[in-house]
């Protein structure tokens, strides 16, 4: 055995035994296909959860611009759920939702921000902050999913995922606009 070969073998053995390595569940993804499907289930759960969480934010928002942007993103989100169902269809899998801990946490954080602020501009600023964290999480997720779809040769699915990615980016920009144009300035004055 060549020295380099031996070295490689030793390193892989070491990697397997490395302390802190998490043991995979029996259902663990073994290929990119599985990982893609698992991630789709996560975001499918997340989008569905958002169709219930966004209306609660709307009820707590006071700025007209914020209410409008949340409502229009709610409509987009409902479409995104259907779009994901199409993606599942394309890959020949049943649309299934699996609890996404990250999104559950972000929604929970949004709830606490609302509890910790008085109704009005300050709560509006908090809702924007929480929503932007959600959008950024979605942007990261759809960026990855689109890439997975491309790598796996699901061109049509990649196009659909990119469409949603663009909507998430648009929603994030709109929230920044609302924050910059009115809400944050008023919130800063509302001491
Ligand atoms: Fe979304
Ligand atoms: Fe979104």
Q: Where are the domains of the chain?
A: 31-189
Q: Identify the nearest ligand to the CA of 45 by its number.
A: 1
* CATH architecture under which domain 31-189 falls: Up-down Bundle (1.20)
pLDDT in tens, 160-185: 999 999 999 999 999 999 999 877 87
- Polymer length of the chain: 191
Whether pTM > 0.75 for this model: the answer is yes
pLDDT in tens, 103-120: 999 999 999 999 999 999
For residue 187, report the distance from its CA to the centre of ligand 1, in Å: 27
Q: Identify the nearest ligand to the CA of 69 by its number.
A: 2
For residue 135, report the distance from its CA to the centre of ligand 2, in Å: 5
For residue 18, report the distance from its CA to the centre of ligand 1, in Å: 38
**Is 157:93 a contact under the CB 8 Å cutoff?**
no
Separation in Å, CA 90 to CA 5, 52, 84, 161, 172: 42, 26, 10, 12, 28
24-35 burial by CB neighbour count: b if 16+ within 10 A, else e?
Answer: eeeeeeeeeeee
CA 152 to chain centre: 21
For residue 90, report the distance from its CA to the centre of ligand 2, in Å: 22
Q: Identify the nearest ligand to the CA of 46 by its number.
A: 1
For residue 168, report the distance from its CA to the centre of ligand 1, in Å: 6
| The predicted structure's pLDDT at residue 152 | 97
């Amino acid at each position: 055995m060549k020295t380099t070969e031996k070295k490689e073998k030793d390193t892989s053995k070491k990697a397997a035994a490395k302390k802190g390595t998490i043991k995979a569940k029996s259902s663990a993804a073994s290929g990119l296909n599985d990982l893609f499907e698992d991630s789709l289930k996560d975001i499918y759960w997340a989008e569905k959860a958002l169709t219930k969480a966004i209306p609660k934010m709307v009820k707590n928002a006071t700025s007209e611009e914020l209410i409008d942007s949340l409502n229009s993103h709610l409509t987009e989100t409902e479409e995104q759920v259907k779009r994901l169902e199409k993606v599942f269809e394309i890959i020949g899998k049943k649309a299934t939702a699996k609890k996404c801990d990250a999104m559950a946490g972000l929604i929970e954080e949004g709830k606490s921000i609302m509890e910790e602020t008085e109704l009005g501009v300050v709560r509006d600023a908090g809702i924007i902050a929480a929503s932007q964290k959600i959008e950024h999480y979605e942007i990261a997720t759809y960026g990855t999913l689109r890439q997975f779809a491309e790598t796996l040769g699901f061109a049509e699915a990649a196009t659909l995922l990119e469409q949603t990615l663009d909507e998430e980016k648009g929603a994030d920009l709109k929230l920044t606009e609302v924050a910059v144009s009115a809400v944050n300035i008023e919130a800063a004055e509302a001491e």
